[in-house]
C-alpha cells in the first residue's frame, strides 16, 4: 500500500502551495456556484430518503448560548452544506448528494468500555435526556479553510456524566458507522475504516467540546454527520468525527483514522497553531469559505481562554497537527 499517493486529504500539493492557486477567489467562486447548483438536488434527495420524518424535529431551533461569540458572520448554509469532508462518501468536497443515502433512523448509540454499565440508547431518547442548545463556533480545517457554523447539540460533558466512566478511563474513543453498502467510500480498503477519533478526558469534559445533533436551527444535514457529530472548535476539523455510533471510555490513547494513515501529518492532539506548519503547507492563515477572504489563523483557533490550560505541562507532547 502506498500511503503517500492516497493519503490524508488527498489534495495535490499544487492545490495547496502556492496558496494563490488553491485560494484563488475566482476558482472558489466557480466552486461555490456548483455548490449552489447542487443544493436543490440535495434537498430533493433528502425528501425522498428521510422516512420516517425526524422524530426530534420539534427540538429545533434551540436557545442560543451567548457565551460563544464569533468574529465573523455565520457561513451561508448553502455553501457550508455543499463543501464537506466525509470520506465515507468520497474524497471530494461535493459528497452532499451521496450522503443522502445514509439512513439516520433508527440510530443506536453504544456507550461502553470503562463505564459503570454499558449503555445502548436510541438517538432520540438520548437527545431528550440532554437539553439542546445552539452554539456559534468557528471550524478550521487542517487544509487551511474555515467556516462559522451555528451547531445545535449538547456538551460532551453531559454524555460523560450520563455514561458514568470509571476513574481509570483516560480517553474517549469515538467511532463512525460502518456500512460500505451505503457509504461506498468504505469499500476503499486502503483507509482503515471505520473512522475513529479520540479526546483525552480533559478535552472531552472541557466547556467547548460539543456533540452536535443539528445545525442552522434544524436537525443535522446528512453531509455534516447526522444524526450526531463532534464539534471541537480549537482543534483541526478532522478531529470532529461525524455520524457517531459508539463512544468507548478507554485507558490507551486511541489512534484516529488519519493518524493511523499518516501520523507525521495528523497527530492525536491536533490543536490549531498558525506557527506550526503542516508538513506540506503553511497554517499561518485561512480562507473563509464563501467570502474569498483570508484571515490570519489564531492559536487554538481563538479559543485559548477556554482550552489552553488543558495542555499546560505537556511540553513533551506533540500538541499541533
Binding flag, residue 219, ligand MTE (CB under 6 A): no
Least separation in angstroms between residue 189's CB and ligand MTE is 16
Q: Which is nearest to 287 in space by CA: 112, 92, 10, 26?
A: 26
Site membership for ligand MTE, residue 75 (CB under 6 A): no
Q: Using the rule CB under 6 A, is 242 a contact of ligand MTE?
A: yes
Closest separation in Å from C-beta 167 to ligand MTE: 30
Q: What distances in angstroms separate CA 176 from CA 32, 110, 242, 317, one per listed residue?
A: 28, 11, 6, 27
Span near ligand MTE by CB under 6 A; candidates 10-18, 37-45, 84-92, 310-318:
84-92
Does 183 help bind ligand MTE (rule: CB under 6 A)? no
Report d(CA 206, CA 157) in Å as an integer.
7
d(CA 178, CA 244): 10
State which of residues 97, 98, 152, 240 lies at the interface with ligand MTE (CB under 6 A). 240
| Binding residues for ligand MTE, total number by CB under 6 A | 15
Q: Is 88 in the site for ligand MTE (CB under 6 A)?
A: yes
Q: Does 176 engage in binding with ligand MTE (CB under 6 A)?
A: yes
- The single residue among 165, 219, 227, 237 that binds ligand MTE, judged by CB under 6 A, is 237
Q: Which listed range, 27-35, 62-70, 159-167, 238-246, lies at the site for ligand MTE (CB under 6 A)?
A: 238-246
Q: Which residues contact 97 (CB under 8 A, 6 or more apart)?
A: 38, 41, 42, 45
Residues 243-302 that bind ligand MTE (CB under 6 A): 243
Site stretch for ligand MTE (CB under 6 A), options 100-108, 120-128, 239-247, 290-298? 239-247
Find the shortest distance in angstroms from Cβ 188 to ligand MTE: 12
Ordered DSSP codes for 256-293: PHHHHH-TTTS-SS-B--TTS-BTTB--SEEEETTTTE
CB nearer ligand MTE, residue 160 or residue 242: 242
Helix (H) / strand (E) containing 31: helix 25-49
Q: How many helices (H) and strands (E) does the chain have?
A: 11, 12
Contact 149, 136 (CB under 8 A): yes
Task: Answer whether 133's CB lies under 8 Å from 190's CB.
Answer: no
Q: Which three cell numbers stand for residue 84?
A: 464537506
The answer to whether 137 touches 149, Cβ cutoff 8 Å, is: yes
DSSP 8-state code for residue 163: H
Number of residues in the chain: 321
Instruction: Write the binding mask 105 to 144 for ligand MTE: x where contact by CB under 6 A, - elsewhere.
Output: ------------------------------------x---
User: Is 224 a residue that touches ligand MTE (CB under 6 A)?
Assistant: yes
Contact of 115 with 256, CB cutoff 8 Å: no
Q: Which of 32, 56, 75, 84 binds ligand MTE (CB under 6 A)?
A: 84
Alpha-carbon gap, residue 257 to 255, rounded angstroms = 7
Instruction: Give the residue nearest to ligand MTE (CB).
Output: 237
Minimum distance from residue 85 beta carbon to ligand MTE (Å): 4
Q: Which residues bind ligand MTE (CB under 6 A)?
A: 84-88, 141, 176, 195, 224, 237-238, 240-243
Amino acid at each position: 500500500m502506498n500511503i503517500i499517493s492516497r493519503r490524508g486529504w488527498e489534495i495535490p500539493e499544487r492545490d495547496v502551495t502556492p496558496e494563490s492557486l488553491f485560494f484563488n477567489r475566482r476558482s472558489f467562486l466557480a466552486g461555490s456556484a456548483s455548490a449552489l447548483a447542487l443544493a436543490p438536488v440535495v434537498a430533493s434527495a433528502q425528501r425522498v430518503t428521510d422516512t420516517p420524518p425526524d422524530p426530534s424535529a420539534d427540538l429545533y431551533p434551540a436557545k442560543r448560548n451567548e457565551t460563544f461569540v464569533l468574529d465573523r458572520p455565520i457561513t451561508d448554509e448553502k455553501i457550508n452544506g455543499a463543501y464537506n469532508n466525509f470520506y465515507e462518501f468520497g474524497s471530494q468536497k461535493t459528497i452532499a448528494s451521496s450522503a443522502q443515502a445514509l439512513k439516520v433512523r433508527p440510530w443506536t448509540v453504544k456507550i461502553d468500555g470503562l463505564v459503570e454499565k454499558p449503555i445502548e440508547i436510541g438517538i432520540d431518547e438520548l437527545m431528550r435526556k440532554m437539553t439542546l442548545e445552539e452554539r456559534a463556533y468557528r471550524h478550521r480545517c487542517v487544509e487551511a479553510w474555515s467556516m462559522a457554523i451555528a451547531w445545535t447539540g449538547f456538551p460532551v460533558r453531559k454524555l460523560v456524566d450520563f455514561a458514568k466512566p470509571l476513574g481509570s478511563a483516560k480517553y474517549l474513543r469515538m467511532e463512525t458507522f460502518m456500512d460500505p453498502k451505503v457509504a461506498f467510500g468504505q469499500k476503499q480498503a486502503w483507509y482503515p475504516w471505520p473512522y475513529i477519533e479520540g479526546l483525552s478526558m480533559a478535552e472531552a469534559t472541557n466547556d467547548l467540546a460539543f456533540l452536535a445533533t443539528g445545525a442552522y436551527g434544524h436537525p443535522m444535514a446528512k453531509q455534516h454527520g447526522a444524526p450526531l457529530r463532534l464539534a471541537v472548535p480549537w482543534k483541526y476539523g478532522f478531529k470532529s468525527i461525524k455520524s457517531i455510533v459508539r463512544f468507548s471510555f478507554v485507558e490507551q490513547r486511541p489512534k484516529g483514522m488519519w493518524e493511523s494513515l499518516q501520523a507525521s501529518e495528523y497527530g492525536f492532539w491536533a490543536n490549531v497553531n498558525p506557527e506550526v506548519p503542516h508538513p506540506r503547507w503553511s497554517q499561518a492563515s485561512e480562507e473563509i469559505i464563501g467570502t474569498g477572504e483570508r484571515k490570519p489563523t489564531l492559536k487554538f483557533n481563538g479559543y485559548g481562554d477556554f482550552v489552553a490550560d488543558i495542555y499546560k505541562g505537556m511540553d513533551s507532547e506533540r500538541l499541533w497537527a
